[in-house]
Structure 1
């Protein structure tokens, strides 16, 4: 099936257009890249629920269009930590180029006439756009909070940290990413929450995904994996977090302390080494490189310690192969990965689900772009869950580790008007 494209040298805010086109859709997505400085291309659309990567074969072709972005229609969705897939089969989408203020309309269609009918209908809707977000929040912004609880209390979580450190001392692992889960019962509109959260906590891998009764509201700062159509692979694990300060000098000092902290650097380096090994399974020989190490990235509420690993995909491998080699992301497991995952199952007393998985797109041209599912609210009817965690090493201070998960949960609880469960 051919891929058609037309661009529009004009601009409508993605938030307003998403509300106009998809707020009532049972299945819709918004890959929000307004604050992604490297690749500022947001994508909105809808699709049909599917559960297998094999559905992507429908859109594979030897021919492709030359466009300023990698995204093509295909699969959009999330893969949970335990491997469960929540995907949409997408044959058309709208891409927003934030840098050049241009909109692109893409669709796989049987004929050019079919494509024209679709984009002309979309163009007509553009003329109606204006103030959709404010109107939507006015109608759907109320929250009725019923309860807030945690899978593990503070004392229980501190015991889990001690257990993780015993496993490290015994030589089972070098580092373990331990997590907790906050469970909330509330009547709240997921899209309204996302519209608020993306303004309060702007991040490069924000996303909104709705598939039936499931909704994912994601404010992730972390790139899990990208693979270009030419086979360039990149992953940017985050290990190391500090809260921002309103005082400019103090804020700078906090960032520098994070950059130089030996415990955080050691933890980050362990994950870099793990991801180098993962990418090496699918990369051309001698192409895996650490292109940046221990860089500070600053967001609205936190500083993060970030490194980047790159590689060239082997000719015999696909982007899906790269995903399967790297998943789940090492920053959310620990090292060595297989034993870390076994210990996580023993310690955490329940599945993580979508949290600490991956969210984004698998395109028909062989590319993919995925963020890590962190700083995320998972909605299933009136049940809302928030996963929070951090890397544990032999040198970890349990109280500091607990303070870190409280920090990571705060912005998500605040947008719901919910108190801490601890």
Structure 2
């Protein structure tokens, strides 16, 4: 990084979470000169029967990308759960009064999707955030990727079409050709170059906890559209000899705040009762294994994913509703697309060439728009309290459930392949 030629071709990934680690590794495997900038906090050791509260549903496309990165086999097999099927339940309602004579009796909407319908080994794999990060760190070390354990503080550019100089919290100057922002939804890099974001909140909080369940989950993910919001139960490996699921409940903020404010004992009872009612007892009694954690939900996108000498990946570029569990998958898709784009650029173009970076942005435009429209549209569809909408959405789910070709398309679309 001392010569002007080497600094002009150097890529510095800002952010050392999963998106940043995956981006750096993907670039290194494409023979790019890459370094990481960000903290390197120690990871706690894995403990039997204790699972990270934060888990991800890794799509088949993301799983294949992790295989290509050499990451997948580094994950402990006994801590990864394949999702073989998914059941989605609507919310029952009566049809509009003037349509009672013409419409069939209402019923709760339901769609069942299976991996075999799409010719897949699994619809997704549930993976702990901590174990995925641990595997990525191991691979980064194996590839001898430079890790600068400092914080980004700003950048300088002496000409519009020239390399950058990054500044760190410890006043170091780091010359580079391209800065990759993998530094989260509040991205300091994005902020420093003045890229605006469009953000809308859902007046909803994501509640997360792990639960022991009385009945086997059979490798099925289940999702309910309830009056309290969208509830998802993801299958997990057994813990302490009992079946375990991970809960994500997108709940109205006022109701979520009331639950979060309860003392532990009261909260435990209240959650058990609400969950049993919401799920109809399909998994029997549900007992909390971890404390309840909440985080605000929002839809956000940067006006551009690229600028001269800068590219954004993951949450720095976009946030979607967790309804489909696709946030990390989109970030991994960004990492792969950026590495592929830079590796296939013309030999006479620099890594900071805006024409090259715009190819990356175009490659991601369609999948990002499709996911944003799908998750936001489904949320708003099921958030409507109007009786006609309520009835129609459940009837629509039942129609979909009777059309195998459409279900196959849904499974393949959700896989990202």
Which structure has more strand as a fraction of its residues? 1
Higher helix share: 2
Q: Above 0.5 in TM-score?
A: no
